Structure 1
Amino acid sequence: MSAPETPREQRRPSAEEPRIARTREALESGLWELLQENELADITVAALCRQAGVHRTTFYGHYRNILDFAASVYADVVNGLGAVNVDQRGTGRTQEEVGVLYAEALRRILVHTFAERRVYRALFHTGTFHAVLADGLRPRFLLALYAWQAYGLVPAMDCEVAAAFLGGAYASWIEQWVAGEDDDVEAWLASLPDLLPGWWPRDGFPRV
């Protein structure tokens, strides 16, 4: 499958979008603050809206409940930590440099999810967060696949399907990490290459 076409010119944001973004930021800040002293399951929509200064009607216009909102927030955090500055054509960096960047991104994710383990455990326990997280990771893997494809490493395959598969696999890998008691980030990261497809580069991963 060929790489995506060059993105078209972005549309102009509507007048509503800045207000929606501010509301989201207020709710996110309110959630972080409440989680300092409360378990996720104990936070109500009313409490979050009071903390954020947002009307409950506004909240319910975008989210079904606290868990729905928290899943969106934390999936975005993981997605952001997984961001890698790599051109989809593989230009500007060596294969080894790209491998190191992806390993560093995964290390950031493991450090963060360990620090927030109690919240991630609660989210995964809902049974829906896995799918939310996998869907957020899918575009990251699609970019990685196109980059590896440019280096001639990816066999003939449907990259969209492979990215969806890898997103789900990594979501499960993270779920097992937060569900256990292991706190050795480097050892957990070093275990990943054995789970990856044989053609996936091993550069950047620690050795055990």
Structure 2
Amino acid sequence: MTTDQEGRRRQLAAASDPRATRTRQRIIAACRELLEAERSVTVAAVCTRAGVGRSTFYTHFATVGDVAVAAVDHLIDRLVADDIARRAAGLERSVIVRTGLTDLCRAVVQERAFFLYALSAPATEHVRERFVADLAAGLRTTVRSEIPDVAEAFERTAADFLANGAVGALLDWLAEPAGRTESDMIDFLSELLPRWLITGRVN
């Protein structure tokens, strides 16, 4: 059941009001800075860092975990938009896939503070589920673009399978690199992706 406050937060997140957008960005940036500095991340600390009152924070977010979710949403939105632009430009599929993986790995590193926080906080599953859901939604767009005639059931299953696998591997890498570099992860994920993403044909 969605409360009035939750509904209001969703409206603000989707709104084009530049003031609301700037406020959310300040709160996200403040949370990121505290996490990167390994400082205590509480609503009070985030408000102080962002220069906003607690009422303003709660107007936009229910918890610090929700701030992490918003950062993930923004990250995936940007990656999906870039992927769509590359496909519209008519680049080779192999280039599109490799570039998309590179951007995904770099984006995860860029927001590593939020992901590492999520792995050790009560919001862990919430953030992970959102990351998977956002990535799967983007991948469904990719599958439809590359294989327009594919069955919807296959499209959904493929997107969920790829998103869960990629997120699991990337979060494990962030938590325990085990000697794996960013370049390694890009290579590994490239090898593990199904060939039909490049050939455009499903057997």
Q: Establish whether TM, by shorter chain, passes 0.5.
A: yes
TM-score, normalised to structure 2's length? 0.72
Q: Are the equivalent residues in 1 in contact too, given 2:93–2:199 (CA < 8 A)?
A: no
1:84 counterpart = 2:82 = yes
Among 80, 84, 100, the alignment partner of 1:105 is 100
Q: CA deviation at 1:198?
A: 4.7
Among 156, 160, 163, the alignment partner of 1:164 is 160
Gaps in structure 2 of 5+ consecutive residues:
1-13
Query: Alpha-carbon deviations, 1:50-72, whole Å to 9, x = none?
Result: 22122212222332211221232
The residue number in structure 1 matching 2:136 is 138
Q: Are the equivalent residues in 2 in contact too, given 1:72–1:132 (CA < 8 A)?
A: no
Among 167, 174, 188, the alignment partner of 2:170 is 174
Q: Are the equivalent residues in 1 in contact too, given 2:132–2:163 (CA < 8 A)?
A: yes
Whole-Å separation in 2 of the counterparts to 1:155 and 1:193: 22
Q: CA deviation at 1:133?
A: 0.4
Paired residues, what number?
182
Whole-Å separation in 2 of the counterparts to 1:16 and 1:194: 40
Identity of aligned residues (%): 25
Q: CA deviation at 1:104?
A: 1.3
Q: Are the equivalent residues in 2 in contact too, given 1:82–1:106 (CA < 8 A)?
A: no
Among 187, 192, 197, the alignment partner of 1:195 is 192
Among 108, 117, 126, the alignment partner of 1:128 is 126
The residue number in structure 1 matching 2:35 is 35
Among 90, 108, 114, the alignment partner of 2:109 is 114
Whole-Å separation in 2 of the counterparts to 1:115 and 1:15: 25
Q: Are the equivalent residues in 2 in contact too, given 1:107–1:189 (CA < 8 A)?
A: yes
Bigger proportion of residues as helix? 2
Distance 1:77 1:87, change over 3 A: closer
Whole-Å separation in 2 of the counterparts to 1:47 and 1:193: 40
Relative contact order higher in (CA < 8 Å, ≥ 6 apart): 1
TM-score, normalised to structure 1's length? 0.71
Whole-Å separation in 2 of the counterparts to 1:118 and 1:136: 19
Q: CA deviation at 1:183?
A: 3.9
CA RMSD, 1 decimal:
3.2
Q: Are the equivalent residues in 2 in contact too, given 1:71–1:129 (CA < 8 A)?
A: yes
Gaps in structure 1 of 5+ consecutive residues:
1-13, 204-208
